[in-house]
Each structure stands twice: as C-alpha cells, then as structure tokens.
Amino acid sequence: MKKIIKVLVLSSALSLALGVSAAEDPDNFYKSDVVYLQKVSFNNLFQMKVGANLYLPKDYKQGVKYPAVIIGHPMGAVKEQGSNLYAQKLAEKGFVTLAIDLSFWGDSEGQPRNAVLPDVYAEDFSAAVDFLGSSDFVDRDKIGVLGICGSGSFAISAAKIDPRIKAVATASMYNMGNAVRHGLNNSFTKEQRDELLAQAAEQRYVEFAGGKPLYTSGTPHEINDKSSDIEKEFYSFYRTERGEFTPEGVDESTTTHPTLTSHVKFINFYPFEDIETISPRPMLFITSDNAHSKEFSEDAYKKAGEPKELYIVKGANHVDLYDDTSKIPFDKIADFFNKAFN
C-alpha cells in the first residue's frame, strides 16, 4: 500500500508539472445512496464465470419487471473503472443495471489473466442477457447494452448475433480491431505491424516452454515531458487517485496491460463489419469533440443502419466520458433506452 500511495502522490505532482488536463467533476468511485448493489456471477457459454455488480433502483418492487442495461468497461480496465458509475447513474433513473467484468479481467474467470479474446468478450454481454432475462425482475424484451471505450466494439459485436439485445449505446468507443491493425488515424505502418506480429510469435515459444507472459500497450506507469498527450490522458485516469484500481490478487504492474501473445488477436477483429444488420434496433454513439478516439464513433455511425445517432459532448476528451459527471450525458442515455424500449 505504501508503494501505491507514493505513486499517487507523485502522479498528482507530475500532472501539474506536465500539463495533464484534469476532469472538471470526476467521480469514478461514486457511491449512490438511492440504489441497491448486489455482487453476482454467472457462466458464459464456455462455462467461464463472469463477475458483475447488479444495481437495482431503491424503489424496486417485487413482481415488477424492469428495463435493464448491461455496461462494459474500457479495454484493460475493470468494472470499478467507469462501469460502476454508469450503472449507478442509470439505476437512479429506474433501470436495472449490470456492470460486468470481461473474461480474463477483474472478478471474471479466464487464464491467463489479461488475455485478449474478442469473441469471448462479446459472449460475456450475451451471457449477461441470459442472466438478466432469466430473472423475475427484468423484462427480457427490454435489455440494452452500453460499452465504454473498447467495450463499445465488443457490445456491437455481441448485438450483431444476439437479437435479444434491443438497443446499443457506446461512449468514447474504440474499435479495438482498427486500433491494433492501423493505429489511431492510420498511423501504424505495415512494418510496425509485422514487427509486433513477429515479437508475439516468438514470445509464444517462450510461454509454450513455461516462460512468463509479457504484457503490452495499456497505460504507462510513469510520464515525462516526452510522453504523448494520449499517454498523459490515460495516465491521468488509470495512474492517479482519480481512477486507479488494482483488483485483489493482481500485480499492480500488469493493470491495463494485455498479454502480448493474445493482443494480436485484435488484428482479426472487425466489429463494424455488418453493423448495419443491427437495424432496426437503435444505436447511440457518444463521443466528444476533443476525443482522440472520435474517429471510431464517426466510422461506426456512418456504417450503421437506422435508427442511429452520433452525440458529441463539447469540451471533453476521451477519458472524461469515463467519469466526469459534468460531461457524461446520463439524461440523454436514459432517454435513448426509454425510447428504444417503448
């Protein structure tokens, strides 16, 4: 714990020194006093346990079936980082909500830890529909999904093959396939991609022989004046008291970092292919004018069928839509799902 505290104190100083922008009203660890929380778990199709937080409106009444929303966390994060906040705010507005940990992360099962497997990530959303739709307090015809960052692409992937998902919303979405194949704004060259694939292939030999996994990408643990704006932005959330969270039993040095050998699985991940087949179920893409990830929401909106909406938050960056309650349009999200279900 002393080591963590030391890092947090240092990070605050670095944020000021390096000009890292701060959210106006960050509240990642928000605790609502008007909703009920229950920790739950259920199996996905592959008999892997999915851990989740279930939230019920405080005025919950037995015998009433409520509309429900499943919330997925940013890629490399856990439900305690963004998802719980969204889940509580929507539960305050009358929804049953379920903040899930994707397989291989947080409270969910899966080995090795921090592995990338997009099909299973999408399956976790469908498994959450199984869980909610089999309960006596959810209207199984009124279940939607909301994916933050990378989970936006996993939620879309799930909705393409699961018609029980009646509406899809995303916030600060990343298309994890394009991000790994091409980089932001197509900045990743073929030579760089080939080098990544070669490194991952050689590392497979190491791990096959019993060696330890290597981790890649994710958020840096230190920043300096040479760090990119995007590195500073993610650092401001994941490596400071604003949003830092290390699940029990997890090595702090591995948080947010997927394994190198599995990370390349994203190169075969195309979540926006056939996105138009989700229509006529509605889709809402929320991004912000200063988000480095805006290109992904704009691309998805362009390809999606009707009804669809691209909603741009003014004066915000990518991670502001994780936890900045002054910028996240919770009323807009609630209105979207209410209209979709009625």
pLDDT in tens, 190-235: 999 999 999 999 999 999 999 999 999 999 999 999 999 999 999 9
Do 276 and 180 form a contact (C-beta atoms < 8 A)?
no
What is the pTM (predicted TM-score) of this model? 0.94
- Which residues lie across from 97 on neighbouring strands? 55, 69
The string over 140-160, giving b where at least 16 C-beta atoms fall within 10 Å of a residue's C-beta and e elsewhere, is: eebbbbbbbbbbbbbbbbbbb
Please enumerate in sequence order all residues whose Cβ is within 8 A of that of 91, keeping only pairs 6 or more positions apart, or say none. Answer: 32, 35, 55, 56, 57, 97
Indicate the pLDDT class of residue 20, thresholds 50, 70 and 90: low
> Percent of the chain at pLDDT above 70?
94
**3-state percent helix, strand, coil for the chain, nearest multiple of 5:** 40, 20, 45
For residue 88, the model assigns a pLDDT of 98
- State yes or no: pLDDT of 1 exceeds 80: no
- State yes or no: pLDDT of 303 exceeds 90: yes
One-letter amino acid of 247: P
- State yes or no: pLDDT of 27 exceeds 90: yes
Do 26 and 324 form a contact (C-beta atoms < 8 A)?
yes
Indicate the pLDDT class of residue 312, thresholds 50, 70 and 90: very high
> CA-to-CA distance for 153 and 263, rounded, in angstroms?
15
Q: Please state the rounded mean pLDDT for residues 70-80.
A: 98
What domains are defined for the chain?
A: 2-341 (3.40.50.1820)
Cα dihedral angle (217, 303, 271, 308), rounded to 10 degrees?
Answer: 100
**What is the pLDDT of the chain when averaged over all its residues?**
94
For residue 325, the model assigns a pLDDT of 98
- State yes or no: pLDDT of 118 exceeds 50: yes
- State yes or no: pLDDT of 103 exceeds 50: yes
Sheet of strand 168-171: strand arrangement:
35-43, 49-57, 96-100, 66-72, 138-148, 168-171, 283-288, 308-313
Q: How big is the chain, counted in residues?
A: 342
